[in-house]
């Protein structure tokens, strides 16, 4: 592709993207395709000779957009948001064009130094103390894996990487049932083993882990010769927004000299609003904290920020220094690949820089506060309907509910989620609370308005009642 064609198509694609965003409300939120619909339209093998951009782009328009679930749709209320604020998309156009590998300071000095700055902007914005450094990871799953590796290495006197785990007693990690499955994966991959992930029961309105039970579990493990390594707490668990009591958990962790990682992948963005920080009261005692600006803050995927109290421990756990990666003559620089698992790194700091400068913290706080307010209002409206039950109260902008209808409540509510998503005006997903199906609602899409929350209410009530009429119990 010559530079004129590159210029022309870059412009056309940017135009297409702007039209796509502007027309999202006209599309069903969740893809309405059936499995195999898209694959049938794609050739079985790559062409031997090149195609024209006109032909490629025509096929893109014909096949792809209708086969997608539209995560930037203002009525996307499923899972957690994956916002891509337009300004961060613009920054990522630049990143994609430049296509730098940001593994070492030397391979991308501007990317490294901007990363240090914007992560520190976020540290301040979240109200975290100065003694946290930070790094942008690709995902919360990666951040949590690094934390588990560091806690494992510290607990094993830095011998796990060299000796493996077979030579040692069981390394134990503690978390509640409410943490995300990325914690289980980290435990598997780090070789700790699911059997050594000790589940601590939860209690209270925020479904947080019981610190007394945590303390007792650690003591019991010590008594039988296990090696307690650390605790993974959550602020804003995926299912229902569970929040562990960080201050009390941290006190137990400190008393045993363990490592504390806090997963705030979703809720962390809300901590730019001081009034929500009670949800992670005591956070300054953590060793590692992860939150995903690619969820609620508006930075497009991927962008996961990990704050670390002791980057030296992270580097000691993860860094390898072959000659071909050494940067002789540069002392005191940061090579962020030594804080991460992959060697190669995208230039992720640019979209944060653009996002934070364009909206300002106050602009972003306004977006998040609206989501919380609209979600609370929707929960109150559903609670006032005679046939709806609020199963878990809003934690920030997430709550769960159930439509009351007949004996097969689980079957009915699963059918309701499907019927709502087939309708297409909004998109919701389900979870299980105390063994029973509940429907999750979270408000978090960047372009969402109060009208979208009103529409959600109308759709939920209308589809639920139509479903009950069709299948009376």
Residue ranges binding ligand PLP (CB under 6 A): 80, 139-141, 180, 182, 237-238, 263, 265-266, 292, 304
Least Å from the CB of residue 273 to ligand PLP? 18
Q: Which helix (H) or strand (E) holds 228?
A: strand 227-234
Cβ contact 418:78 at 8 Å: no
Classify burial at 141, counting beta carbons within 10 Å of its beta carbon; exposed 0-12, middle 13-18, buried 19 or more: buried
> Looking at beta carbons only, is 371 or 425 nearer to ligand PLP?
371
> Looking at beta carbons only, is 304 or 397 nearer to ligand PLP?
304
Least Å from the CB of residue 267 to ligand PLP? 8
Which residues lie across from 459 on neighbouring strands?
Answer: none
Least Å from the CB of residue 122 to ligand PLP? 16
Least Å from the CB of residue 401 to ligand PLP? 19
Least Å from the CB of residue 333 to ligand PLP? 27
> Looking at beta carbons only, is 16 or 79 nearer to ligand PLP?
79
> Looking at beta carbons only, is 290 or 467 nearer to ligand PLP?
290
> Looking at beta carbons only, is 238 or 397 nearer to ligand PLP?
238
| β strands within 382-435, DSSP E | 388-395, 398-403, 429-433
Going by their DSSP bridges, the two strands 398-403 and 202-203 should be labelled as unpaired
User: In Å, what is the CA distance from 247 to each residue of 227, 251, 280, 355, 448?
Assistant: 23, 6, 8, 31, 34
> Looking at beta carbons only, is 339 or 388 nearer to ligand PLP?
339
Cβ contact 274:368 at 8 Å: no
Cβ contact 346:95 at 8 Å: yes
Which residues lie across from 399 on neighbouring strands?
Answer: 441
Least Å from the CB of residue 219 to ligand PLP? 28
> Looking at beta carbons only, is 307 or 388 nearer to ligand PLP?
307
- For 103, the token pair is 């593994």
Least Å from the CB of residue 300 to ligand PLP? 13
Which of 34, 20, 106 shows the shortest CA–CA distance to 70?
A: 20
Least Å from the CB of residue 446 to ligand PLP? 17
Which of 400, 396, 406 shows the shortest CA–CA distance to 379?
A: 400
CA dist 168 and 179 (Å) reads: 27
> Looking at beta carbons only, is 211 or 237 nearer to ligand PLP?
237
Residue 435, SS3 per DSSP: coil
DSSP string, 348-395: -HHHHHHHHHHHHHHHHHHHHHHHHHHHHHHHHHHHTSTTEEEEEEEE
- For 295, the token pair is 């969820």
> Looking at beta carbons only, is 227 or 318 nearer to ligand PLP?
318
Least Å from the CB of residue 304 to ligand PLP? 5
CA dist 56 and 62 (Å) reads: 10
Neighbours of 389 (CB within 10 A): 14
CA dist 452 and 377 (Å) reads: 12
Which of 307, 286, 285, 303 shows the shortest CA–CA distance to 294?
A: 303
Least Å from the CB of residue 441 to ligand PLP? 15
Q: What is the DSSP letter of 208?
A: E
> Looking at beta carbons only, is 377 or 433 nearer to ligand PLP?
433
Q: What is the DSSP letter of 308?
A: E
> Looking at beta carbons only, is 29 or 140 nearer to ligand PLP?
140
- For 454, the token pair is 């009103």
Least Å from the CB of residue 234 to ligand PLP? 6
């Amino acid at each position: 592709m010559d530079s004129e064609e590159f210029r022309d198509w870059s412009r056309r694609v940017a135009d297409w993207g702007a039209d796509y965003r502007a027309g999202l409300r006209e599309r069903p939120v969740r893809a309405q395709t059936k499995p195999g619909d898209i694959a049938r339209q794609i050739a079985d093998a790559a062409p031997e000779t090149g195609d024209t951009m006109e032909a490629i782009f025509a096929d893109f328009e014909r096949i792809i957009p209708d086969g997608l679930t539209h995560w930037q749709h203002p009525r996307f209320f499923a899972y957690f948001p994956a916002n891509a604020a337009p300004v961060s998309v613009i920054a990522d156009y630049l990143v994609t064009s430049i296509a730098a590998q940001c593994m070492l300071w030397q391979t991308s000095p501007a990317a490294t130094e901007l990363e240090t700055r914007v992560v520190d902007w976020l540290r301040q914005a979240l109200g975290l103390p100065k003694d946290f450094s930070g790094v942008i990871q690709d995902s919360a799953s990666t951040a949590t894996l690094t934390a588990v590796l560091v806690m494992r290495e510290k607990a094993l006197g830095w011998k796990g990487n060299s000796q493996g785990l077979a030579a040692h007693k069981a390394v134990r990690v503690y978390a509640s049932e409410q943490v995300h499955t990325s914690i289980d994966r980290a435990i598997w991959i780090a070789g700790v083993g699911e059997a050594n992930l000790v589940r601590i029961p939860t209690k209270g309105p925020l479904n947080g882990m019981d610190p007394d039970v945590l303390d007792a579990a650690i003591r019991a493990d010590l008594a039988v010769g296990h090696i307690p390594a650390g605790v993974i707490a959550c602020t804003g668990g995926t299912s229902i927004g569970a929040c562990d009591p960080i201050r009390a958990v941290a006190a137990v962790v400190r008393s045993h000299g363990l490592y504390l990682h806090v997963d705030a992948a979703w809720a962390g963005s809300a901590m730019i609003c001081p009034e929500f920080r009670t949800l992670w009261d005591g956070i300054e005692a953590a060793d590692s904290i992860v939150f995903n600006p690619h969820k609620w803050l508006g930075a497009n995927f991927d962008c996961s920020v990990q704050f670390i109290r002791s980057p030296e421990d992270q580097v000691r756990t993860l860094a390898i220094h072959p000659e071909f990666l050494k940067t002789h003559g540069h002392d005191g620089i940061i090579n962020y690949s030594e804080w991460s698992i992959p060697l190669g790194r995208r230039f992720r700091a640019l979209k944060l820089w653009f996002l934070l400068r364009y909206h300002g913290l106050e602009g972003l706080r306004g977006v998040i506060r609206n989501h919380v307010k609209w979600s609370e209002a929707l929960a109150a409206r559903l609670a006032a309907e005679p046939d709806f039950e609020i199963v878990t109260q809003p934690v920030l902008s997430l709550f769960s509910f159930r439509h009351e209808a007949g004996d097969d409540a689980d079957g009915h509510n699963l059918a309701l989620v499907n019927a709502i998503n087939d309708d297409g005006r909004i998109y919701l997903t389900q979870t299980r609370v105390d063994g029973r199906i509940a429907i999750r609602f979270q408000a978090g899409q960047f372009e969402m308005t109060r009208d979208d929350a009103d529409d959600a209410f109308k759709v939920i009530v209308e589809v639920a009642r139509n479903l009950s009429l069709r299948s009376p119990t």
